[in-house]
Amino acid sequence: MKQRLIRQSIIWLAVMMALLFIPAGTFAWPAAWIYLLEMGVTSFFITIWMLRNNPALLAERMAPLIQRDQKNWDKALMGTLMVLWCGWFVLMALDAVRYGWSHVPLWVQVLGALAYPLAMYVIFLTIRANNFAAPVVKIQTERGHKVVSDGPYAVVRHPMYAGALLLLIATPLILGSWWGMALLPVIVALLATRAVLEERTLAHELAGYAEYAGRVRYRLIPMVW
């Protein structure tokens, strides 16, 4: 697993660097390096924690984002999100560096840089609480899939998405792109759609989920939705 993990990490870093620096046309983009550093450091610590404490979950999260036993609607949504994700980073690089269509004040970029580790901490709390936090929507019968209701799941039904939402907001702020922020509602709408469809699947196929959803009222943001 370790060799595969190293290989996937190198590939992921290479892809992210390509999405940022090729459209930017330069490596002289400090905000992008800060973003990659934050992404790398936080991901490293979360991964090391899983490797030591929950290797089965790490194996699940290392699996492809399109899987055979995954719901068809989730395959379509994940495919769309992956394409949109790549285009989003290209747009932000074109905006912030190559063409300079918009300008984000430094203090706003700093706020984004502070929000990023907070978002990753929420994601870590979710992973620590939920042994079944796979990246795709499926019922993990072979792993004894059951409802998780403690930790961040006692606050919202989808804390992973809540962390992802904060991460999505932080990203264009760090990179300095208002155009990236303008595209954000489209990505969030797809994420929200996935949350609703995932809940329908869990309510029908996972024992106890409907009761849990009745107790925990909010999906992503307490007192909002």
Query: In this structure, is residue 221 part of a structural domain?
Result: no
- pLDDT attached to residue 166: 96
d(CA 86, CA 79): 11
Query: In this structure, is residue 220 part of a structural domain?
Result: no
User: With 0-12 CB in 10 A as exposed, 13-18 as middle and 19+ as buried, what is 221?
Assistant: middle
Query: In this structure, is residue 225 part of a structural domain?
Result: no
Query: In this structure, is residue 62 part of a structural domain?
Result: yes
- pLDDT tens readout for residues 125-143: 999 999 998 888 888 888 8
- Percent of all residues in the chain with a pLDDT value above 70, rounded to a whole number: 100
Under the banding of pLDDT at 50, 70 and 90, the label for residue 45 is very high
User: Domain range for residue 182?
Assistant: 2-215
Under the banding of pLDDT at 50, 70 and 90, the label for residue 224 is confident
pLDDT at 213 over 80: yes
Query: In this structure, is residue 44 part of a structural domain?
Result: yes
pLDDT at 69 over 90: no
The CATH number of the domain holding residue 156 is 1.20.120.1630
Query: In this structure, is residue 222 part of a structural domain?
Result: no
d(CA 95, CA 101): 5
**Stretch 22-51: mean pLDDT:** 96
16-25 long-range Cβ contacts below 8 angstroms, 24+ apart: 16/89, 19/86, 19/89, 19/90, 19/93, 20/89, 20/92, 20/93, 20/175, 21/93, 22/93, 23/89, 23/90, 23/93, 23/94, 23/98, 24/93, 24/94, 24/96, 24/97, 24/98, 25/97, 25/98
- pLDDT tens readout for residues 180-207: 999 999 999 999 999 999 999 999 998 8
Query: In this structure, is residue 21 part of a structural domain?
Result: yes
Q: What is the DSSP code (8-state) at residue 137?
A: -
Query: In this structure, is residue 224 part of a structural domain?
Result: no
Residue type, position 175, single letter: L
- pLDDT attached to residue 129: 94
State how many domains the chain has: 1
- pLDDT tens readout for residues 167-184: 999 999 999 999 999 999
The residue among 34, 17, 81 whose CA lies nearest residue 175 is 34
* Residue-wise DSSP of 70-123: S-HHHHHHHHHHHHHHHHHHHHHHIIIIIS------HHHHHHHHHHHHHHHHHH
pLDDT at 71 over 90: no
**Stretch 9-13: mean pLDDT:** 92
The residue among 119, 8, 116 whose CA lies nearest residue 62 is 8
Model confidence, pTM = 0.92
